[in-house]
Amino acid sequence: MRAVVVIPTLNACNLLAETVASLEAQTVSVGMVVVDNGSTDGTLELLGTRFPQVTVVHNVDNVGFGRAVNRGVASAPDAEVLILVNNDAVCSPDFAQRMLEPFADPEVGLVAGVLLQGSAPGLVDSAGIELDVTLRSWDVLWNRPARLVDGAPDPVGPCGGAAAYLAKPFRDLSGFDETLFAYWEDVDLALRFRLAGWRCVRAPRARALHRHGATLGAASPAQRRLEAFGRGYVLAKYRVGAGRPLTRLQVAALDFPVLIVHLVLRRELGPTRERLRGRRAGLAQPPLRAPLELATVTFREALRRQARVLLMRFTRRLPAHFTEHDSPLG
């Protein structure tokens, strides 16, 4: 199967060089497309001189993650499998080989790789996405020992930092929803793949070291606004809670404390505004069924996880490699 790796990037020249170098050393041959979102740090010069074999798609402005990936995919029309890698991930030599192996099963449409914390390689950053009963996403095994990956059940979908998709259904489903500038786009695409009948499996040996947040900033105000928009958008697009009063109460119990933290402690109104804007945008979309049967995280467990993250945040014990699926707190 012809595989093409798509890497969106923005002003991460040194990180990108390590990522591309790791992909050049793979045990199987893969094409590479780097989509530059208007970098001003010498990224284009780096690619032209050190990696001339890489296809470069240059955007004058930052168009966001999903739209950048879609443009990269459009530049590789003969690709049969699309592999997404973050520009701050260094892949093991057999990463691509391991990501491709599950596609031998014709029912598999998407594959999750394993991201390990760059500063603590024995800990997982993300082993795919799992959902709770409100359709909130969580990174599987976040901050847990990497030895647990082999026994973990398959996820709902892959984290966009280490993901593979069959190219035909990716294109048939119109790729990433470009309404989402960044965050939640991988969750939304995984849901649409699953609703279309495709399976997701994990490739437990497909591993990469991840220095999360090096581009946007894992705890930046921009991240918090984008996360809030995405949450509101996905809730509305999939009509989560429609005709389900209990689910609406559960959404409120999980989400309102977070918005209060932003508003009262951080004095940020932006996340609340973006949450409402995301809801309006989601309601403007044709409704999709909320596949709550895919949820494996109970409401009680979601509350426990959120409380744990809050405690780690306020005691300054939150790991640097903290991904967007772990919590909306940022």
38: pLDDT confidence band, cut at 50, 70 and 90?
Answer: very high
Q: Assess contact for 143 and 189: CB atoms under 8 A.
A: no
The one-character DSSP state at 19 is H
What backbone torsions phi and psi does residue 137 show, to the nearest 5 degrees?
A: -100, 150
Inform me whether the pLDDT recorded for 316 exceeds 80. Answer: no
Inform me whether the pLDDT recorded for 48 exceeds 70. Answer: yes
pLDDT value of residue 258: 87
Report how far residue 18's alpha carbon sits from residue 283's, in angstroms, rounded to the nearest whole number. Answer: 41
Inform me whether the pLDDT recorded for 326 exceeds 80. Answer: no
Nearest one of 293, 306, 295, 292 to 253, comparing CA atoms: 306
For the chain, which domains are there?
3-210 (3.90.550.60), 221-314 (no CATH)
Q: What is the pLDDT of residues 156-186, one digit of tens each?
A: 999 999 999 999 999 999 999 999 999 999 9
pLDDT over 70, % of the chain = 92
Q: What is the pLDDT of residues 202-234, one digit of tens each?
A: 999 999 999 855 444 456 889 999 999 999 999
Question: What mean pLDDT is predicted for residues 104-130?
Answer: 97
Q: Model-level pTM?
A: 0.93
What sections of 4-133 are H helices per DSSP? 13-24, 43-50, 65-74, 95-100
Question: What mean pLDDT is predicted for residues 103-119?
Answer: 97
Torsion of the alpha carbons at 189, 194, 199 and 205, rounded to the nearest 10: 30
DSSP 137-181: EEETTTTSBGGGGGGSPPPSB--TTEEEEEHHHHHHTTSS-TT-S
pLDDT value of residue 329: 41
Q: Assess contact for 275 and 179: CB atoms under 8 A.
A: no
266: pLDDT confidence band, cut at 50, 70 and 90?
Answer: confident
Query: Would you state the structure tokens that stand for residue 214, as one six-digit string?
Result: 């090096």
Q: Mean pLDDT for the chain?
A: 93
pLDDT value of residue 330: 42
Candidate from 21-35, 46-60, 164-178, 215-229 with smallest mean pLDDT = 215-229
pLDDT value of residue 216: 47
pLDDT value of residue 25: 97
Q: What is the pLDDT of residues 75-85, one digit of tens each?
A: 999 999 999 99
Q: What is the pLDDT of residues 141-155, one digit of tens each?
A: 999 999 999 999 999
Pairing between β-strand 120-126 and β-strand 31-36 as defined by DSSP bridges:
unpaired
pLDDT value of residue 328: 42
More reliable by pLDDT, 322 or 28: 28
5: pLDDT confidence band, cut at 50, 70 and 90?
Answer: very high
Report how far residue 188's alpha carbon sits from residue 191's, in angstroms, rounded to the nearest whole number. Answer: 5
* Unique residue bearing structure tokens 């990224």: 43
